[in-house]
Amino acid sequence: MQRNMQSSKPRLSPEERQIRVDKFKKFMMGSKEKDGFLKMFLIYSLLICIGFIYVYPILYMISSSFMSLDDLLDSSIKWLPSSFRLSNYLQAAKSMDYGRSLWQSVVIAGVTTLCNLISCSVIGYGLASFNFPGKKVAFGLIILTFVLPSQITMIPTYVLYSNMKILGTLWAFILPALTGMGINAPIFILIFWQFFRQVPRVLVEAAHIDGAGYFKSFFRISLPSAVPAFITVALFSFVWYWNESYLTELYVHGVMTESGWTTLIIQLSNFQANYSTYAQSTGAGATSLNESISMAGTLLSVLPLMIMYFVLQRYFVESVDRSGITGE
């Protein structure tokens, strides 16, 4: 009976077998029109692994920030604390003087970012639109200022700012940003230069024929089309100034001079000393410093950037995508 059933099954011809093999290969390897399963599996596996590497520290920081000291010492508790302690955030915020530090961080990063946008856009437009003697030398100096480590120019810059009487003030960041020499300003100049090169020359020439000068064509034609570059530079500049601790503490916060300026990153770097001062001033109202309170302070310092990224993520991706469109 089994032999009869086996013999009744239709046998595939060699052509049908080859068609099935080709379909399987096409499904696994893909074609010119569509990626195969194997390629997509490798890509998504790699993205998941990279995403896990970046997300894991954030999840661990959030989980640990709500734990009590008993939860930290209990080996059976890994991710979910026995009780969520919001007091860790309250103590960390008070020790960091969070309200004042947050406001001054926004001012320092925001004002210098605005200055970077003004100076770097003008410099990038000039390099992209005009041919003048020494243009290649100017490009070389711009690249050199980026390649040259800041540690080499730190002492001469400190002496210069001291002679100008701007140490411990916001002008120590504003003046370099206005002259196109802010933190990582050469990258921003090259971004604007590359983008302004892609603006169709026929639009600028048509504006000149209609009687518009260089400034009018810059404000009416080049700037409106450079919105993606402005968004990209603004986000990068704000994040870099926000995360800069050493230069901020050296020039603005004041190492040898008394200054009222500080940032959340500086408060975080001095978190242990600040918390000890806060605990002594409050007496028995504060617990001893532990990993949970440190994690809460760290999360509070990066939380504004995380919120800004989630809000502006779509605009940032669109700006990077649009900046790749080529012109004439």
pLDDT band at 321 (very low <50, low <70, confident <90, very high): low
- In the chain, the percentage of residues whose pLDDT exceeds 90 is 15
Which residue reads 């068609």 in tokens? 19
Burial of 225: CB neighbours in 10 Å, binned 0-12, 13-18, 19+? middle
CA 182, CA 112: separation in Å to the nearest integer? 8
pLDDT in tens, 257-305: 667 788 899 988 888 888 888 777 776 566 777 888 889 999 999 999 8
Q: What is the pLDDT at residue 325?
A: 44
- The token pair at 279 is 């605990």
Q: CB neighbours of 312 closer than 8 A, spacing ≥ 6?
A: 231, 235
Query: What integer is the mean pLDDT of 154-176?
Result: 89
Closest Cα to residue 91, out of 244, 287, 228, 229?
Answer: 287
pLDDT band at 102 (very low <50, low <70, confident <90, very high): very high
pLDDT in tens, 243-268: 988 888 888 887 666 677 888 999 88
CA 192, CA 323: separation in Å to the nearest integer? 10
Q: Which domains does the chain have, with CATH numbers?
A: 11-65 (no CATH), 88-322 (1.10.3720.10)
| Residue type at position 294 | S
pLDDT band at 319 (very low <50, low <70, confident <90, very high): low
pLDDT in tens, 306-317: 888 888 777 777
CA 296, CA 62: separation in Å to the nearest integer? 8
- The token pair at 189 is 């100049």
| Residue type at position 207 | A
Q: pTM here?
A: 0.80
CA 79, CA 64: separation in Å to the nearest integer? 7
Q: Is the dihedral of CA 76, 81, 82, 88 positive or negative?
A: positive
**Facing residues of 35 across strands?**
30
CA 116, CA 123: separation in Å to the nearest integer? 10
Largest CA distance in the chain: 104
Which residue reads 């599996």 in tokens? 41
